[in-house]
Structure 1
Amino acid sequence: MTTLILLRHGRSSANAAGVLAGRSPGVELDETGRAQAERVVERLAPLPIAEIVTSPMTRCQQTVAPLAAARGLAPVLDERFNEVDYGSWTGGTLKSLAKEPLWKVVQAHPSAAVFPEGEGLAGMQARAVAAVRAHAARIAVEHGPNALWLACSHGDVIKAVLADALATHLDNFQRIIVDTCSVSVVHYTETRPFVARVNDLGDGPGALAALIPPKPRRRRAAKRSSDAVVGGST
């Protein structure tokens, strides 16, 4: 039931400064981030992307802007893909926050982490996964079961979605790496997701060509199987 391309926003001024931007207004892509966003257009060139959904944060909207312009698509803003509400941690340096007692919880037991005056990581995962499922179901109806769609979000949010797709506990999500402007890919079927890419930074228009949906042999669109390959694949 559709394939989701998870795109983390490009490098921001806060990323470069080692600051936890959170939902601070006015945080934009830096020069490196803008270049990364431009390269996304070429990297995803072969893929027939049906829709672009994005976090409302400026850095995410700036990341998808070149791709949306190239495809003639209007990005859909969804608050459920927003950055974690880090509460009073927002704007703090990672160096100073690492000294806080909560930091150890975030690292070792993130499902129990609730940021002061903010939200918990478990709540963030619930809203993000709900958004993925809702959009996947809608896009399958509107564009067909093999449709590709892209969601641009933030590192912790994408890691949480991937943890759910991998059927691993949120306490393991810190083991997943999601770099700026990386691509991760999940195929959603009726019974289970299949994780096809994690933290893909490959350049060139052919790097993700394997994700292009096959043309159906019959008039009715072919359904992606929920069964995993046994004995490896060729």
Structure 2
Amino acid sequence: MIPAPPQLDKPPKTAAPIHSLLARRWSARAFADAPVEIEQIISLLEAARWSASSRNEQPWHFVVARKGIDSDFDRLLGSLSDSNRIWAQRAPLLILAVARTTFRSNGKPNRHAQYDVGQAVANLTTQATAIGLTVHQMGGFEGDTVRNLFAIPNEYDPLAVLAIGFRDHPDSLPTDLRDRELQTRQRLDLSSFVHSGTWNNPSALLHDHSSAQLREVNSQGARQ
């Protein structure tokens, strides 16, 4: 395992503690010139394999391409948008995530397929973080191109390309990308998407949590 340099960690500011594997995950673009070993790749795929899915359909499929080993790497890299290709070309591993959009049992549409593949990729990403890898998920690729390149049937939907590897220092990137790499991570406030009662009405639990935090701060101040 190649540990990420300390300066590349960007811990988020959270309203409550979250697991370190989740806190350490972020979508880096700077990849070190180091291969991902076969055992590590299999561990990522096993993590995806054991994800939850509707009716246990397991609609996820993956095209795995190793740089300098699999011819699929250059083909998959070529399907990316220019803005993604410029940095993703340094990643040692690309994976195309695909969803089967129909149930195997009856051929009817599976409206949960994309959701389930997203869960599988989240599992994969968490496993990657646990073993010192970083995953950058991309929607900027030509879906029709990869469908033709890999003869993907119509009932399957290419969803994302994952660039995977060990982090490198941001200085290895072009200036504009380096600056983006160093930016502070941002997220919407919980009150913007956690609701109760009516839509867009922030959940009361958020107010209760803030009040409890304030009481704790005041209590600590009184004890000093």
What is the TM-score with the length of structure 1 in the denominator?
0.28
Q: Which has the higher contact order (CA 8 A, sep 6+)?
A: 1
**Structure-2-length-normalised TM-score:** 0.29
